């Protein structure tokens, strides 16, 4: 998976136009598929160009990061349980990406990569029904 992260500015290309809030455009540019616009909130457009996810990256004590999920596509009736969707309640309200304790991202760059990877896995789960765990197991065997 390529990891395009924009920390400032826009990436002109493809379909729907977004501003930094992920809403209607305020500029004549768009968010390229597979790219994270990492200003607050971070908006990610999946590599297939069809879905958008919004994240908040929160630095914790010791330089670790949590990733709050601010917005994402509907699961379309698929199981949204914590163990299937890899989401947990956030201390800030809403949900966050589930990460094994002690394995939280240690940099903002790692947090960006994790958020993009989770979004791609979730996007595949929503479209195909193949769970995140099954996708990870398949990728590990390759």
Nearest partner of 53 among 81, 85, 8, judged by Cα: 85
Q: What is the pLDDT of residue 133?
A: 97
**pLDDT tens track for 67-77:** 999 999 999 99
Q: Which domain holds residue 17?
A: 4-141
| Cα–Cα distance, 14 to 35 (Å, whole number) | 12
| Cα–Cα distance, 103 to 84 (Å, whole number) | 19
Is residue 22 over pLDDT 60? no
Is residue 17 over pLDDT 80? no
Total domain count, the chain:
1
**pLDDT tens track for 79-110:** 999 999 999 999 999 999 999 988 999 999 99
pTM of the prediction?
A: 0.75
């Amino acid at each position: 998976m390529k990891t395009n992260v924009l920390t400032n500015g826009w990436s002109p290309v493809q379909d729907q136009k977004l501003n930094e809030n992920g809403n209607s455009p305020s500029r004549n540019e768009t968010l390229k598929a597979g790219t994270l616009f990492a200003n607050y909130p971070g908006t990610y457009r999946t590599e297939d160009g069809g879905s958008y996810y919004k994240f908040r990256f929160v630095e914790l004590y010791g330089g670790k990061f949590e990733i709050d999920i601010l917005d994402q596509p509907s699961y379309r009736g698929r199981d949204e349980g914590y163990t299937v969707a890899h989401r947990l309640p956030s201390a800030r309200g809403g949900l966050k990406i589930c990460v094994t304790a002690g394995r939280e991202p240690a940099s903002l760059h790692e947090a960006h990569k994790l958020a993009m990877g989770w979004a791609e896995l979730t996007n595949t789960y929503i479209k195909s029904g193949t769970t995140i765990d099954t996708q990870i197991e398949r990728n590990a065997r390759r």
